[in-house]
Structure 1
Amino acid sequence: MPIDLIIWIAAIVVAGLVFTLLLKVVKATIKTAITIAIIVLILQLFFGIGPNQLWQQIIYIPQAFWQAVTDK
């Protein structure tokens, strides 16, 4: 068995593993994006909370945490 054939087979195996990992990452990313979109849509339709209000609250979370930690 020539060394080139072994390298070729190893490259195919590594490429397959990388492709499988990439598919898992893309699948998880799409699921997360859809979940976030559904949550934002529910907040907007049922509670009247817009994306800007939600974003402002998300930005405020680290500030509130920092104030809670430093203002003992």
Structure 2
Amino acid sequence: MASTHVDLSKAHWLKSSRSNGDGGYCVEVADNLPGIIPVRDSKDPQGPAIIFRAAAWSSFVSSVKETDLPGA
């Protein structure tokens, strides 16, 4: 079985511009790890992160930008 552990100790976390100070919309992404984009809840920085392949994250972000979503 392959290891599923990813070392995020050198991750440079960026908080979403949609995050606010009242406990809502608290998403952070790390943009400095080759080939992957970790995503986490900024209210729980020691908690788990979801790891996306960079191409999948790019596709997701493009789709969100092209869709007329409420609050987007």
Larger RCO (CA under 8 A, 6+ residues apart): 2
TM-score range, shorter chain: under 0.3
**Rg larger for:** 1
TM-score of the two chains, using structure 2 as the length reference: 0.25
Structure with a larger share of its residues in strand: 2
